[in-house]
Amino acid sequence: MLKGIPSILNPDLLKIMMEMGHGDTLVIGDGNFPAAACAKRLVRCDGHGAAELLDAIMTFFPLDTYVEKPVAVMATADGEDAPIWKEYQQIIARREGEAAFEQVERFDFYARARDAYAVISTGEGALYANIILTKGVVIE
Amino acid sequence: MLKGIPSILNPDLLKIMMEMGHGDTLVIGDGNFPAAACAKRLVRCDGHGAAELLDAIMTFFPLDTYVEKPVAVMATADGEDAPIWKEYQQIIARREGEAAFEQVERFDFYARARDAYAVISTGEGALYANIILTKGVVIE
Amino acid sequence: MLKGIPSILNPDLLKIMMEMGHGDTLVIGDGNFPAAACAKRLVRCDGHGAAELLDAIMTFFPLDTYVEKPVAVMATADGEDAPIWKEYQQIIARREGEAAFEQVERFDFYARARDAYAVISTGEGALYANIILTKGVVIE
Amino acid sequence: MLKGIPSILNPDLLKIMMEMGHGDTLVIGDGNFPAAACAKRLVRCDGHGAAELLDAIMTFFPLDTYVEKPVAVMATADGEDAPIWKEYQQIIARREGEAAFEQVERFDFYARARDAYAVISTGEGALYANIILTKGVVIE
Amino acid sequence: MLKGIPSILNPDLLKIMMEMGHGDTLVIGDGNFPAAACAKRLVRCDGHGAAELLDAIMTFFPLDTYVEKPVAVMATADGEDAPIWKEYQQIIARREGEAAFEQVERFDFYARARDAYAVISTGEGALYANIILTKGVVIE
Amino acid sequence: MLKGIPSILNPDLLKIMMEMGHGDTLVIGDGNFPAAACAKRLVRCDGHGAAELLDAIMTFFPLDTYVEKPVAVMATADGEDAPIWKEYQQIIARREGEAAFEQVERFDFYARARDAYAVISTGEGALYANIILTKGVVIE
Amino acid sequence: MLKGIPSILNPDLLKIMMEMGHGDTLVIGDGNFPAAACAKRLVRCDGHGAAELLDAIMTFFPLDTYVEKPVAVMATADGEDAPIWKEYQQIIARREGEAAFEQVERFDFYARARDAYAVISTGEGALYANIILTKGVVIE
Amino acid sequence: MLKGIPSILNPDLLKIMMEMGHGDTLVIGDGNFPAAACAKRLVRCDGHGAAELLDAIMTFFPLDTYVEKPVAVMATADGEDAPIWKEYQQIIARREGEAAFEQVERFDFYARARDAYAVISTGEGALYANIILTKGVVIE
Amino acid sequence: MLKGIPSILNPDLLKIMMEMGHGDTLVIGDGNFPAAACAKRLVRCDGHGAAELLDAIMTFFPLDTYVEKPVAVMATADGEDAPIWKEYQQIIARREGEAAFEQVERFDFYARARDAYAVISTGEGALYANIILTKGVVIE
Amino acid sequence: MLKGIPSILNPDLLKIMMEMGHGDTLVIGDGNFPAAACAKRLVRCDGHGAAELLDAIMTFFPLDTYVEKPVAVMATADGEDAPIWKEYQQIIARREGEAAFEQVERFDFYARARDAYAVISTGEGALYANIILTKGVVIE
């Protein structure tokens, strides 16, 4: 553990977030997401909720301002918003400002996960809780 | 995730618990424990409390009945019991029956951790929350 | 060995089952199945029968309820049902409820095995005893 | 699988048996034996009984005729013979001729396992079912 | 060395033969065959003749009875039979019964070697001594 | 790069700092320090000054309050203080409060570096610029 | 450190520069460049400016004289020259003589980085500071 | 070093030459050849001239007699013969008999190097000194 | 295969012989020798006789002339010479001149094998056929 | 190859020289030196003379001025100076100034080589041509 870094962020995850550059994507998968099958780089966060993790990640992670929708979620089967998305939007608004979410069909979402820089597996029990973040630039 | 297995147990941890045999030891270290420096096999459970993890482990883990004290904790500097030990005792009593705890001095505890089959690092914030479990036999 | 986990499940197999997500597939091959040639991840269970292993796996493994036929077998050359399929159906019915089986032609079956998350090789002596399981979701 | 080789012998096990030379030892551990902690080379045979495995091994494995007792078992706590030893003696007598068994105290047995060429973990449920075989020479 | 296993079969070769399943192929290359360049899995048997090795392999290896020609040789430039083929036919007839050989053009043969489960390099000095074996099933 | 993390800290270094626990030590070596020869884990920061790096590290790194002198420097040959130590003391005072430095003889310092959790090599040109930090606990 | 080699050049970077041949390319990415995602071989130079690094590299690195433009930069969104390019041109003019720069669109630049022999990640804070060098021949 | 083997041949190079079979190719690149970028297997012979190395290689290496031109060189830009080719021809004539050389355009040459069994990098200073050898058969 | 190198010498063996220097030892073990258990570097030559292999090795291998007995054999239990030693002496006399053999007790021989640069396992069926060669210098 | 770096220095060697720090040692072994058996890190320079290599190394390598004799050679059996030492002294005098050489007995020399940071094997044919260099500091 270090001062000022939430203990939910494991060393590999923070290392991977630091390695990422402009336009690279990071996927947070829920407990049933086929993370190990998709991931180029897999980070396991078993037992943790996705929102708690997202909040810790967004402490350090800049979103891409060069694209219209730097955040994507997996579209539900019935076209309704999943309840957890509201929580995601509040976290992101608080850290990086309001952002509209892109909705991506399930199998297209898997394809994006295979192209992502890394995929995080969590223990999130909510359905349709998968989310993709596109990294922006840090201006020092 | 699987049916009947708590999501806090990650795949590597359960694999390691299955590989262990009679007399092998498993250490749960708190957030400040030098786990990576001591461990022959390291399992990271960043961000989780030690008691929640112990409870999930004890669902499957038999304690050694061939020794007097199959559980050890790190002795506090002032000789008082650490508050979290009571929680540990309740978990163990519920899963395997009452068991007295051995208290081990800090640097002796590190030596045992270096000999242990595996060490788990957690995000536990309580002090003196480190604990060693000695595995017993399964009678089918 | 652990309490409540059948000893026929080896540590690697349970670890792999835990890593799998929604839609990932697991193949149980009989003693003559070209498992090592097909498998992305190979789990050896030499000397064990396929039905005994299936029964242990189904203790923990949820079937996919999003697809019509979450179980597939290799179609016989003569179009008849292989005798062991009945045994498979009883096991699955007992663990997850009745499920119709898809029949897949031999070389198509090999292609699916190459795409599967993992392939298990057994010592099963019965012919046409190969089976594919599609993982579903765990609702906690 | 191959013609004339029992399917309970996995490829790694037979390879290891072939690599061994005069005086090298092979340990068969029961289901509670700390095999992974002791083994220089570990062969997992989860779910199998030790006697069935011993019988398959002895089909190919010559015992050392240069030493008085080429077979050792772990001494019981009460000094009585473990019931499974009789079964072991019959298997060895049938394959290689009568042989007296050395009895080795538990922690000395662990030390020998650490020096052994390989250790096999099984799912054997009987207690004190651990056995060490010393390899002899093949005269062609 | 083990009882009943010819010493010309090295541990890796027997392990590989055990891992192979129905339809997998095994190539025996002569001393000039580009084995290392083609092989997914390479087994070196430097200094040995191909016929002696084939004979030892066929002690354990079942040929595929589901295809018309489970054995293939590299076609000679002049279309004549290579002298060593007769020796191969006698070995195979003795172990598995008479079998017609498929003749495969040199560069097609290389392509099959690249798809084979394993390729064995030998010290065989005869020309056109390369041979492919397709594995069948073992009925216990 | 991430928000709030100085770009001089490379991903491996931050990962290693996160992995360290109470009592583990971290060495910053100057440009002539035999870092690669001593280090269990080596982090290269070629071209950077040691003070600039120390300042970035101390943003996150807690010093051990259980020992009298959690910081050590390599004693100079003439017993005088090296000029850069004053800079080190100011950095540490600003981040963690005043701390007295232990002075360690050159070859004893090498022995401590061999026991340290990690050693950082820098391009620091000042002489006797080597420093050891002992990690303390994070109280959340 | 060695005599005559700038300390900003780390051992891996110089090794990689030595391994490169005629026509191979080397990319220097700024602090936000997705270096780890693109690179066949990644060299981390966290915290360093790109111009300082370019200057050290050009001490040893010959530019390709067989192509018209051996240096490429990432084209800006507005078509203007990035301020840092002037600095790059002065460095290159001083080391290898005047050279016109090719401007490459952002996503084409990424494609070239994926084909490059190596990619260097820096801590450069200036935007559009990415540059590709094509290696020429050394005439001794 | 061994009796009768020139000391310029390093152990990896001779091992690789022994592993090669009929039709496999070996590239000797000059000091500016992009060997590391092209090679499936790279052998470094830094500081050595190509002709000296070719002479040592041809002591053991049979050229392919099944093809018209078993030796290829990189065509010069002006279509003239490179001076070093004459030296190559004399070496080959002395070892294996006269052989005409195929001339291959620069980028086609790179493509062949990527397909070659191995590429050797030398310190040869002459231009257009790159050469490809196709291995023939050894008749014992 | 290469011109002038016996095909019984496999690529790894010749590579290892080339890597050895003055005073390094090479062990040839018979078919029952515990080669894999002793060897720092193991070379398998299954199925070959030890004398045939020794003859090929001695084509290239210089014996140490700085010691009195550069060749050692394993002493027999009865103190008699093993029949194969005469064959060894003839081979060595022919290649390097007459040399007296040191006789080493069985367990001392094992200790020397553990210190040897490499150990070769053969299929030699003769008893007490193990031999150690000490490498000398090559004067070019 | 790079501008200003002799082509006899291979990339691994220069990388290793850069990694070394104050007090680390580098051994240049002659063609018969048991380099592979002694070396923690081995650099092969087959076919090169030791003096030519020493000259290239000394272009960049500072000798230790904190010790009396930063250079050591292997003492000859007869106590006479080996002819090549004079050449070594001239090279070192030209690069770093006059330096007396320590003479080290053969087996003590081997012990030092085992402790050295790296050992270089050459093709040097002269006897007693082995030399150890102790690295000093670079003052920028």
The ipTM (two decimal places) reads 0.96
The per-residue pLDDT for F100 is 86
> What architecture (CATH level 2) is domain I22-134?
3-Layer(aba) Sandwich (3.40)
When pLDDT is averaged across residues G78-100 and rounded to a whole number, the result is 94
* Chains linked to H by 3 or more Cβ pairs within 8 Å: E, G, I, J
Nearest to I33 among D21, D139, D140 (CB): D21
Q: Pick the closest to residue G9 from G80, G69, G59 (CA basis).
A: G59
Instruction: State the sign of the Cα–Cα–Cα–Cα dihedral C29, C33, C38, C42.
Output: positive
The per-residue pLDDT for E100 is 86
Q: Pick the closest to residue A113 from A28, A6, A54, A31 (CA basis).
A: A28
Does the CB of H31 have a partner CB in chain G at under 8 Å?
yes
When pLDDT is averaged across residues B116-123 and rounded to a whole number, the result is 98
The per-residue pLDDT for C100 is 86
Report CA-CA distances (Å) from F11 to A115, B2, G119, J127.
Answer: 22, 33, 16, 49
- What is chain C's mean pLDDT, rounded? 97
The per-residue pLDDT for H100 is 86
Residue F48 to residue F122: CA distance in whole angstroms: 6
Chain D nearest CA to C15, separation (Å): 14
Span J69-99, pLDDT tens digits:
999 999 998 999 999 999 999 999 999 999 8
Does the CB of A96 have a partner CB in chain G at under 8 Å?
no
Whether residue A140 has pLDDT greater than 90: no
Catalytic residue among J30, J48, J55, J64: J64
J11-134 CATH choice from 3.30.479.30, 3.40.1650.10, 3.40.50.300, 3.30.2130.30 = 3.40.1650.10
Residue G139 to residue F125: CA distance in whole angstroms: 34
B37-134: which CATH topology?
RbsD-like fold (3.40.1650)
F20-37+55-117: which CATH topology?
RbsD-like fold (3.40.1650)
Q: Which residues in chain D (66-85) have CB-CB distances under 8 A to chain B? A: none
Q: Pick the closest to residue B130 from B109, B114, B116 (CA basis).
A: B109
Q: Which residues in chain J (49-68) have CB-CB distances under 8 A to chain I? A: none
Burial per residue of G123-136, b for 16 or more beta-carbon CB atoms within 10 angstroms, e otherwise: bbbbbbbbbbbbbb
Q: Pick the closest to residue J127 from J102, J100, J106 (CA basis).
A: J106
From B56, which residue of chain A is nearest by alpha-carbon distance?
A: A47
Chain I nearest CA to J32, separation (Å): 5
Does the CB of B111 have a partner CB in chain F at under 8 Å?
no
Span H108-130, pLDDT tens digits:
999 999 999 999 999 999 989 99
Catalytic residue among C64, C88, C117, C128: C64
Residue C27 to residue B40: CA distance in whole angstroms: 33
The per-residue pLDDT for J63 is 97
Which of C2, C22, C43 to mutate: most B Cβ within 10 Å?
C2
Residue H119 to residue H44: CA distance in whole angstroms: 9
Which CATH code for domain A62-140? 3.40.1650.10
At the top level of CATH, the class of H11-126 is: alpha beta
When pLDDT is averaged across residues C53-77 and rounded to a whole number, the result is 97
Does the CB of C29 have a partner CB in chain E at under 8 Å?
yes
CB F44 within 8 A of CB G48: no
Residue C128 to residue E135: CA distance in whole angstroms: 17
Whether residue F37 has pLDDT greater than 90: yes
The residues spanned by each domain of chain F are 20-37+55-117
Residue J135 to residue B106: CA distance in whole angstroms: 41
Whether residue D140 has pLDDT greater than 80: no
Whether residue D27 has pLDDT greater than 80: yes
pLDDT band at G139 (very low <50, low <70, confident <90, very high): confident
Between strands B42-45 and D25-29, the pairing is unpaired
Residue G38 to residue B11: CA distance in whole angstroms: 30
Q: Which two tokens stand for residue B120?
A: 């788990």
From J20, which residue of chain G is nearest by alpha-carbon distance?
A: G1
pLDDT band at J100 (very low <50, low <70, confident <90, very high): confident
Residue D126 to residue D48: CA distance in whole angstroms: 12
Segments of chain E with pLDDT less than 50: none
- What is chain G's mean pLDDT, rounded? 96
Contact B20/D32, CB-based, under 8 Å?
A: no
Segments of chain H with pLDDT less than 50: none
Contact G46/F125, CB-based, under 8 Å?
A: no
**Percent residues over pLDDT 90 in chain D:** 95
Chain D residues in contact with B22 by the CB 8 A cut-off are 32-34
Whether residue F102 has pLDDT greater than 80: yes
**Main-chain dihedrals φ then ψ at residue G85, nearest 5 degrees:** -65, -35
From C35, which residue of chain D is nearest by alpha-carbon distance?
A: D1
Whether residue J140 has pLDDT greater than 80: no
DSSP G30-96: -TTS-HHHH-SSEEEETT--HHHHHHHHHTTPPBPSSSS--EEEEPPTTSPPPHHHHHHHHHHHHHH
pLDDT band at C34 (very low <50, low <70, confident <90, very high): very high
Degrees to nearest 5, angle at CA E16 with E12 and E22: 170
Contact G24/H33, CB-based, under 8 Å?
A: no
Contact J138/F32, CB-based, under 8 Å?
A: yes
Contact I117/J32, CB-based, under 8 Å?
A: no
Nearest to B138 among D32, D34, D121 (CB): D32
**Percent residues over pLDDT 70 in chain B:** 99
At the top level of CATH, the class of D11-35+49-78+87-134 is: alpha beta
When pLDDT is averaged across residues D29-33 and rounded to a whole number, the result is 97
Contact I11/H16, CB-based, under 8 Å?
A: yes
Span A124-138, pLDDT tens digits:
999 899 999 999 999
The per-residue pLDDT for G100 is 86
Span J45-75, pLDDT tens digits:
999 999 999 999 999 999 999 999 999 999 9
When pLDDT is averaged across residues J97-113 and rounded to a whole number, the result is 96
- What is chain H's mean pLDDT, rounded? 96
Span I9-62, pLDDT tens digits:
999 999 999 999 999 999 999 999 999 999 999 999 999 999 999 999 999 999
Chain F residues in contact with A136 by the CB 8 A cut-off are none
* Chains linked to F by 3 or more Cβ pairs within 8 Å: A, B, G, J
| Beta strands per DSSP E along chain H | 25-29, 42-45, 71-74, 101-104, 118-122, 131-134
Span I110-127, pLDDT tens digits:
999 999 999 999 999 998
> What's the first-to-final CA gap in chain J, in angstroms?
25
The per-residue pLDDT for H136 is 97
pLDDT band at I71 (very low <50, low <70, confident <90, very high): very high
Q: Is C22 a catalytic residue?
A: yes
Which of H5, H7, H57, H121 to mutate: most J Cβ within 10 Å?
H7
The per-residue pLDDT for A80 is 95
The per-residue pLDDT for F58 is 98
Span A16-73, pLDDT tens digits:
999 999 999 999 999 999 999 999 999 999 999 999 999 999 999 999 999 999 999 9
Catalytic residue among J12, J24, J81, J110: J110
Residue C44 to residue C16: CA distance in whole angstroms: 12
pLDDT band at I63 (very low <50, low <70, confident <90, very high): very high
Nearest to H7 among J7, J8, J46 (CB): J46
Residue I79's region, left for phi above 0, alpha for psi from -120 to 50, else beta, is left
- Is 3.40.640.10 the CATH number for E17-110? no
Whether residue A100 has pLDDT greater than 90: no
CB C133 within 8 A of CB C71: yes
Q: CB under 8 Å to E12, separation ≥6 — which residues? A: D15, E43, I44
The per-residue pLDDT for D100 is 86
Contact B24/D31, CB-based, under 8 Å?
A: no
Catalytic residue among A55, A64, A117, A128: A64
Catalytic residue among H22, H66, H108, H115: H22
| Beta strands per DSSP E along chain E | 25-29, 42-45, 71-74, 101-104, 118-122, 131-134
Contact J117/F36, CB-based, under 8 Å?
A: yes
Does the CB of G114 have a partner CB in chain H at under 8 Å?
no
Which CATH code for domain G21-121? 3.40.1650.10
Q: Pick the closest to residue D113 from D84, D133, D136 (CA basis).
A: D133
Degrees to nearest 5, angle at CA D82 with D81 and D87: 105
The per-residue pLDDT for C1 is 94
CB E46 within 8 A of CB E121: yes
SS3 category, H62: coil
Residue H47 to residue J7: CA distance in whole angstroms: 5
